[in-house]
């Protein structure tokens, strides 16, 4: 397959990426935006006085843009651009290595446990939050009798050299105060600014023409030698950067400017590269297929590019007050709750405190109490309860308390309507898994009182009369006005878009009752735990009862209003499963009927014409061409780890999913919402880290193999 | 003429503009860049439920860009866009009024004396530095029986509403934390965010859809009524924004955020509008032609849009440490010295302390000492002396001490070479005029010791042997390497581009000697004053002696290397003139010969085929199509006020100069470097305020009329 695709090389929590890889497109540094950078990148080398060889990471060459209405002496040498046939690329979990001609470029974006700033030593927080990447450029001039000059440069406005600002401790260039790249001074490596990369080779002793909007590094390699240079790529966004809730980046407590960031990264280069290598090794050893490894690696880069590790304490004298945000890719919505639940497993692995941080803020600022209404009875308002907003704001603007940026009234189960029921289940499922994994008693204590409310709120959305309840959502929030609620599959048809009586949501409702029963029990509230258990049983029954023997699956809307076949029917199983509430004997235990019926469902729908695309690849709904890549990864895990279904032709499907990302998304790095393999939305997206669940399979798989 | 042209509506010293007026183009807010904003502006109204009438300040309509791969209900109403025939526009010195249909939009950018932050009361500094404009929108719904809804909105990323952030004290929208607009709450005025202006009228009770990238104000006007609304347009760039020398905006000491700026401007609205009206009145009453008034008004807007009023004291506890910067329009070079001398007269009127501030920094950080070289004798280095860099940096990056961002070695009198001699004369002329106008003894005291050095430096660039000196520059700085110096007319041919033996520069050399003689005399250094006087006489003689009786003018290069006719021969006269060193009897006094010969020169060259374009308009050099509008204004003043030449057909020429700006520059507001009336560089430029000198003429003209 082509190596022409972007990867979001991103530090942890800076909402910043150095994006590179898509042929003939701009890329490079960008921060505080959900799209690739806008720089032509000039990375390559010149052999002696000959042609300039460059990687194809810039837009089709125009002449260099020289201002002042003058013509500079034209460089008659040609640019030779490496093509797909010349380039070998290897994407690791925390590295990306590109080889072409005499050049090897490796970019490392190390990640690992993210410490809680309230309890961890400041040095640890500084090291992890430092908004920098490390790149290694290697130039092989062996077997040649001429010198070779490497170039690592880009085009951007407001460039400056870093040598001046760092008193010679850094050699490189920066864009304003916001991003830049540098090496430590060493012989034969110089920074330049010029009108074009060709002008950098004009033989002038003084290569720093500060009006030039092309800037970077020139690396001299003597004849017959090989040389490697380490480059730090860093970001710095100072001061309060959000509104609504004012916050700054956590790293600004430790790094006062871009120069600090770059110096720190260069000083810690070995540790950074070692950690990246450790992640690469972990993924490499995992019992996953090459396609699965690539998907998880690409998704992980996208996730970190969307993360925002903030501190609401604006002065350094106050103790850290962390605030964790994941932006919704190109949409830039903040902590979108129906993404939070999907990031959950990745975050529990690397930053459990961040999961709690988001759940706490959902309770404190982004919860609301509503009433509910029956369809077709607009005047009648029934008791509702607590739920949570779809998101916390957009583009670094926290929305007012109790309001998302996304949800709008008066939309009949269309995109932008409310997701009240879904977000209610999301809080419950996240909290349950969080507590099960961390044993955080303080969290349980703090939110214990809410559990009763959550149970009531779920039940009220079923039916006002306890006797009439089926365990399934049947009433819409009055926040919808004349409209009706939707699910996270907002751009789908009613098979997944409508919330009421939806099979997917029924599964998450069931899971929420199961989890609430468990939490209430552990708090000693046996009565309400029993109530929740009963509701779970009802929900399971309602799902099972809707099974249609003729079609062999459960219709998307339990009332038969949509008979589409949908894969996310099985999503809800995941949360009780990872909490250990679906035991080994699941098929025969308390939830046996549900597990069995969903296994039959999945086996029936995973067929061409229903939930498989002709060319391979999973189709979340039989009646829509929209499919969400992150959700496929999640459901694959459930299919294998919970339902233990023998998936048909897994390699072929996974390779199709890789093609969606490389041939479909390409420029947009990891994308989620795919229409026949081409992203129509949710581009440059963080949600693909649901694939982290595959590693758990691998582990249990290995255990099984060993046993 | 068309009303389709941009004006940089700009507060004082924020490097920020709200640019509007060019049809079918984007514009609006932009700060820290030398170009118009990038927003579609939607300003107009809807009559009842009918069509939307808009001013033509947006790009040719595409459909509204709705993300999420969904289609919203299409609005079937049409946009009706006002055309040139519908729009009446009136540009005042500090206001811009646009009338179309039922709409009147007036934007006020008041200016006046700018206080010195080190001595003025903080409240005065706060008021003047507040980075805001005031706009008035009037909607006339008289004679109609339907309501009318006005709209003032734009399209931009990262929009947010201001109501939330200001606890309801502001109604409006902002882009991030950096700019926005708002009104005080009043009945019938609401902020909105939507995917398109049409969506704002969708009848929804909730008009704040935070995902929408179109945002602004809706203004309800009842049937039969007229309504006016006052809108503050503000900017806020927080924290250190420069490098090399770290500085923040002076206003950040008084305004902690955008909300503060907008509130302050709305509270002071009446005073702001009154001051704008006062400036408008002054210009309106001036004895200038309508074309002259328009040019000065347009130039003044451009000047303020490029100003940057900084403070190097980064914490509020330290006393203000002001730093004045004027950016070089689209080039963004800082305090370019060959612009500083042209801004001099405008700045002496409104901010004399800023002139001193820049001159001080040129001495303290941007002076250097060089040696000089004879043409054709590269190995021989002769004593040089002190001079100054071309600029102080670019794009908010102060360049290293002693270096500009522009000047490059090894260029043979081509663009980007050194301007050592010219910048030396610029410091002397600026300092002389500054002292003469302000009587600043402290400045004299501080730099007194430098005067001797300046004289030596001028002389050394003439010839090493005192006996061989002609008063004219003949040696290039060794900073040029193998190259040769140029003048501010860097994109011209050698008629104005080459420094050595250049008539234009000879005039400024003469002026520098005259001024130094005066300054040295006033410091009691009679011997060196006499030396300077003698040099001035030599320079005058050299210029006069080069007069070519056959052509009737002095050739551009005194040695005859270029026989072009150039207008800027007369530039040097200005500085001694405004210092009162060319008295009424100039023609008969000490400088009589020079004045007479330059009068003959100008009268001879101001002819079609030489220094007039066929369609009217001044041509600075007979051998180039490049002309600088700001320099024309300066030379016109000298012609009238010093040489008292009867200018041919002045109204026709000035109208041509207006056409250059409106039809040629248009989108770029005021531009300077014109090639046959179309800007090829120096766009969006501050230098046009040389036209302020015309007001002095008018005054002396009025006096003459009275006497």
Average pLDDT, chain B: 93
Query: Per-residue pLDDT averaged across A269-282, rounded?
Result: 98
Coil, helix or strand at residue A161:
strand
Q: How far is CA A348 from the centre of its chain?
A: 14
CB contact at 8 A, B676 and B625:
yes
When pLDDT is averaged across residues B70-95 and rounded to a whole number, the result is 82
More confident residue, B413 or A257: A257
User: Closest approach of chain B CAs to the CA of A568, in angstroms?
Assistant: 20
Residue B205 has pLDDT above 70, yes or no: no
Strands A678-681 and A673-675: antiparallel
Token pair for A692: 């982290």
DSSP state of A663: I
Condensed to tens digits (0 to 9), the pLDDT of residues A426-470 reads 999 999 999 999 999 999 999 999 999 999 999 999 999 999 999
How far is the C-alpha of A676 from the C-alpha of A524, rounded, in Å? Answer: 50
**Model pTM?**
0.95
pLDDT at B587: 53
Burial class (CB in 10 A: 0-12, 13-18, 19+), B241: buried
Q: What kind and span of H or E run contains B44? A: strand B41-47
A82 has pLDDT over 60: yes
Nearest CA-CA partner of B160 in B170, B177, B173, B172: B173
- What pLDDT was estimated at residue B705? 36
Q: Could you tell me if B636 and B295 are in contact, meaning their C-beta atoms sit under 8 angstroms apart?
A: no
Q: What are residue B477's DSSP bridge partners?
A: B372
Report whether B536 contacts B520 (CB < 8 A): no
Burial class from Cβ neighbours inside 10 Å (0-12, 13-18, 19+) for residue B285 reads exposed
Higher per-residue pLDDT: A346 or A587:
A346
Q: How far apart are CA B362 and CA B356, in angstroms?
A: 10
Residue A163, SS3 per DSSP: helix
Distance from CA of A469 to the nearest CA of B (A): 33
Contact A397 B490 (CB under 8 A): no
Q: What residues does A96 pair with on adjacent strands?
A: A91, A107
CB contact under 8 A, A67 and B490: no
With CB atoms and an 8 Å threshold, state whether B490 touches A68: yes
* pLDDT tens, residue by residue, A142-174: 999 999 999 999 999 999 999 988 989 999 999
CA distance A193 to A216: 7
Cα distances (angstroms) measured from residue A239 to each of A248, A529, A645, B689:
6, 47, 52, 36
Unique residue bearing structure tokens 């330049």:
A192
Distance (Å, whole) CA A326 – CA B97: 45
CA gap A304, A523 in Å, rounded: 36
Asked whether the beta carbons of residue B681 and residue A67 sit closer than 8 angstroms, the reply is yes
Residue B406, pLDDT above cutoff 80 = yes
Contact call for B415 and A206, based on CB within 8 A: no
- pLDDT at res. B605: 96
- Least confident span in A28-32, A269-273, B15-19, B374-378: B374-378
Distance CA A72, CA A222 (A): 30
User: What pLDDT is stored for residue B495 in this prediction?
Assistant: 67
pLDDT at B229: 98
pLDDT digits (tens, 9 = 90+) for A487-496: 988 767 766 7
Give, in order, the Cα–Cα distances in Å from A628 to each of A35, A100, B556.
19, 34, 72
**Predicted confidence band at B588 (pLDDT cuts at 50, 70, 90)?**
low
The reported pLDDT for the residue numbered B491 is: 64
Among B69, B399, B673, the residue with its CB nearest the CB of A680 is B69
Mutation pick from B177, B243, B391 vs chain A, by most beta carbons of A within 10 Å, is: B243
pLDDT value of residue A201: 80
Model confidence at B61: pLDDT above 70:
no
Is the pLDDT assigned to residue A204 strictly greater than 70? no
A519: pLDDT strictly greater than 60: yes
The residues, ordered by sequence, that sit 6+ positions from B449 with a Cβ below 8 Å of its Cβ are none
Contacts of A50 (CB under 8 A, 6+ apart): A77
SS3 of A415, please? coil
For the stretch B112-126, pLDDT in tens is 999 999 999 999 999
Angle CA A511–A513–A515, to nearest 5: 70
- 10 Å CB burial of residue B69 (0-12, 13-18, 19+) is middle
A408 contacts B244? CB cut-off 8 A:
no
d(CA B19, CA A440): 55
In this structure, is the dihedral angle defined by the CA atoms of residues A386, A390, A392 and A393, taken in order, positive or negative?
A: negative
Does residue A598 register a pLDDT over 80? yes
Q: How far apart are CA A236 and CA A395, in angstroms?
A: 17
Q: How far apart (Å, rounded) are the C-alpha atoms in residues A571 and A556? A: 13
Question: Measuring CA to CA, which residue among A541, A538, A533, A530 is closest to residue A596?
Answer: A541
Any idea which residue has 């060889």 for tokens? Answer: A53
Phi-psi region of B203 (alpha: psi -120 to 50; beta: other; left: phi over 0): left
What is the average pLDDT across B192-214? 85
Task: Report the C-alpha gap between A432 and A438 in whole angstroms.
Answer: 10
Question: What is the pLDDT, as a whole number, of residue B646?
Answer: 87
Contacts of A330 in chain B (CB under 8 A): 67
Is the pLDDT assigned to residue B191 strictly greater than 60?
yes
Q: Are A337 and A389 in contact (CB under 8 A)?
A: yes
- Check whether B702 has a pLDDT greater than 90: no
Query: What residues of A are in contact with residue B69 (Cβ under 8 Å)?
Result: 491, 626, 673, 675, 680-681
Instruction: Report residue A607's pLDDT band, with 50, 70 and 90 as the boundaries.
Output: very high
Q: Residues B153-172: what's their mean pLDDT?
A: 94
What confidence score (pLDDT) does residue A701 get? 45
For strand A673-675 and strand A626-628, is the pairing parallel, antiparallel, or unpaired? antiparallel
Partner-chain contact A396 B681, CB within 8 Å: no
Determine whether the interchain pair B157/A397 forms a contact, defined as Cβ–Cβ distance below 8 Å. no
In this complex, do A160 and B408 lie within 8 Å of one another by their Cβ atoms? no
User: With a cut of 0.90, is the ipTM above it?
Assistant: yes
Q: Is the per-residue pLDDT at B513 higher than 60?
A: yes
Give pLDDT, residue B50. Answer: 87
DSSP state, residue A96: E
Residue B703 pLDDT exceeds 70: no
Say whether pLDDT at A360 is over 70. yes
pLDDT of residue A707: 33
pLDDT tops 90 at residue B281 = yes
Q: Which band of pLDDT confidence, cut at 50, 70 and 90, is reported for residue A49?
A: confident
Residue B21 has pLDDT above 70, yes or no: yes
**Backbone phi and psi for residue B377, each to the nearest 5 degrees, phi listed first:** -130, 70
A165, A394, A396 ranked by CB distance to B243: nearest: A165
A421 neighbors A390 (Cβ within 8 angstroms): no
**Does the pLDDT value for residue B285 go beyond 70?**
yes
Residues A368-384, mean pLDDT to the nearest whole number: 93
- Asked whether residue B701 carries a pLDDT value surpassing 70, the answer given is no
The stretch A514-529 carries a mean pLDDT of 96
Q: Is the pLDDT of residue B67 over 70?
A: no
Q: Determine how many CB atoms are found less than 10 A away from the CB of residue B269.
A: 18
- The shortest CB-CB distance from B204 to any of A244, A396, A410 is to A410
CB contacts of B241 in chain A (<8 Å) are 177
Residues B131-150: pLDDT tens digits? 999 999 999 999 999 999 99
Q: Are A249 and A309 in contact (CB under 8 A)?
A: yes
pLDDT above 90: percentage of residues in chain A: 86
* A33-47, A241-255, A686-700, range with the lowest pLDDT: A686-700
């Amino acid at each position: 397959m082509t190596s022409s695709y972007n990867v979001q090389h991103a530090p942890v929590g800076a909402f910043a990426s150095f994006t590179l890889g898509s042929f003939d497109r701009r890329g490079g540094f960008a921060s505080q935006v959900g799209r690739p950078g806008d720089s032509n990148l000039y990375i390559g080398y010149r052999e002696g006085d000959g042609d300039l060889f460059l990687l194809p990471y810039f837009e089709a060459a125009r002449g260099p843009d020289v201002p002042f209405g003058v013509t500079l002496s034209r460089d008659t040498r040609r640019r030779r651009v490496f093509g797909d046939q010349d380039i070998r690329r290897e994407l690791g979990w925390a590295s990306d290595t590109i080889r072409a001609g005499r050049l090897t470029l490796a970019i490392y974006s190390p990640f690992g446990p993210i410490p809680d700033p309230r309890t961890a030593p400041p040095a640890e927080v500084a090291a992890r939050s430092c908004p920098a990447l490390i790149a290694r450029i290697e130039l092989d001039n062996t077997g040649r009798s001429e010198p070779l000059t490497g170039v690592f440069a880009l085009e951007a406005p407001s460039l400056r050299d870093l040598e001046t600002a760092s008193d010679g401790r850094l050699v490189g260039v920066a864009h304003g105060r916001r991003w830049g790249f540098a090496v430590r001074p060493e012989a034969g490596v110089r920074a330049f600014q010029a009108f074009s990369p060709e002008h950098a080779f004009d033989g002038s002793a003084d290569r720093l023409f500060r009006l030039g909007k092309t800037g970077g590094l020139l690396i001299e390699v003597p004849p017959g030698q090989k040389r490697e240079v380490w480059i730090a790529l860093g970001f710095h966004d100072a001061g309060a950067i959000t509104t609504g809730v004012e916050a700054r980046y956590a790293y600004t407590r430790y790094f006062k400017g871009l120069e600090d960031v770059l110096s720190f990264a260069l000083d810690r280069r070995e540790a950074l590269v070692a950690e990246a290598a450790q992640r690469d090794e972990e993924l490499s050893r995992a019992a996953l297929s090459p396609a699965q490894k690539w998907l998880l690696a690409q998704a992980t880069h996208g996730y970190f590019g969307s993360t925002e590790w903030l501190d609401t304490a604006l002065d350094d004298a106050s103790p850290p007050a962390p605030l964790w945000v994941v932006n919704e890719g190109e949409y830039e919505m903040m902590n979108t709750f129906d993404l939070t639940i999907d990031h959950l497993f990745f975050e529990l692995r690397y930053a459990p405190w961040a999961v709690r941080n988001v759940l706490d803020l959902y309770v404190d600022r982004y919860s609301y109490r509503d009433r509910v209404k029956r369809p077709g009875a607009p005047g009648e308002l029934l008791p509702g309860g607590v739920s949570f907003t779809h998101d916390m704001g957009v583009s670094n603007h926290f929305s007012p308390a109790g309001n998302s940026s996304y949800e709008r009234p008066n939309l009949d189960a269309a995109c932008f309507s409310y997701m009240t029921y879904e977000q209610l289940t999301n809080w419950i499922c996240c909290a349950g898994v969080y507590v099960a994994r961390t044993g955080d008693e303080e969290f349980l204590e703090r939110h214990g009182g809410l559990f009763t409310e959550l149970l009531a709120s779920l039940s009220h959305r079923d039916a006002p009369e306890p006797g009439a309840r089926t365990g399934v959502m049947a009433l819409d929030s009055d926040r919808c006005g004349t409209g009706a609620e939707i699910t996270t599959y907002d751009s789908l048809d009613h098979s997944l878009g409508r919330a009421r009586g939806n099979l997917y949501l029924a599964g998450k409702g069931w899971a929420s009752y199961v989890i609430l029963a468990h939490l209430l029990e552990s708090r000693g509230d046996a009565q309400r735990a029993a109530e929740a258990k009963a509701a779970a049983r009802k929900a399971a029954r309602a799902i099972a009862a809707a099974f249609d023997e003729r079609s062999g699956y459960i219709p998307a809307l339990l009332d038969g209003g949509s008979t589409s076949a949908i894969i996310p029917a099985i999503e809800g199983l995941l949360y009780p499963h990872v909490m250990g509430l679906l035991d080994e004997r699941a098929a025969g235990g308390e939830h046996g009927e549900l597990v069995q019926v969903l296994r039959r469902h999945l086996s029936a729908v995973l067929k061409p014409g229903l939930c498989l695309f002709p060319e391979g690849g999973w189709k979340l709904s039989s009646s829509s061409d929209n499919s969400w890549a992150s959700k496929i990864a999640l459901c694959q895990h459930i299919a294998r780890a919970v339902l233990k279904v023998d998936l048909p032709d897994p390699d072929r499907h996974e390779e199709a999913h890789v093609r969606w990302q490389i041939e479909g998304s390409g420029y947009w790095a990891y994308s989620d919402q795919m229409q026949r393999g081409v992203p129509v939305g949710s581009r440059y997206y963080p949600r693909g880290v649901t694939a982290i669940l595959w590693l758990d399979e691998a582990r249990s798989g290995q255990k099984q193999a060993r046993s």
